[in-house]
Structure 1
């Protein structure tokens, strides 16, 4: 497997983790979550689908869910 493919797989795992946190937080709709947290809906959808994003965005996601970065990456 090529380096770029491995990187993309890892990014998609992060997106899946973001989606799981949303669902575990009782938000069945990414749109409702984004609206409740004041995030652009399309941007949030991209995060869950595994688009590349900044560390600041990841920190904000952790803050929305009241978890640390360590907790976010646990098991990934």
Structure 2
């Protein structure tokens, strides 16, 4: 079970890193600016990019901001 938890934590880190890469690819060097301009809670968005567990609702909202589907987001993960 411990190995499974470690694998899940690794996947969460991969998701958070990919979200950060999406933000950077849109020209936002600051997560704070991205959060503010897209009406996201700044602290919550920082948690997302730092690899904390997030809800599916939050993930879908961020992906909609980036105009990317769930399938497209997860295809390389």
Same fold by TM-score greater than 0.5: yes
SS in 1 for 2:28: coil
Does structure 1 residue 27 correspond to structure 2 residue 28? yes
Q: TM-score, normalised by structure 2?
A: 0.93
Shift of 1:3: 1.2
Aligned position for 2:69: 68
Does structure 1 residue 45 correspond to structure 2 residue 60? no
How far apart, in 2, do the equivalents of 1:23 and 1:71 lie?
Answer: 18
5+ residue gaps, structure 1: none
Aligned position for 1:9: 10
5+ residue gaps, structure 2: none
How far apart, in 2, do the equivalents of 1:21 and 1:74 lie?
Answer: 14
- Point out 4+ residue stretches in structure 1 off by more than 4 angstroms: none
Root-mean-square deviation (Å): 1.0
How far apart, in 1, do the equivalents of 2:70 and 2:40 lie?
Answer: 19
Q: TM-score, normalised by structure 1?
A: 0.94
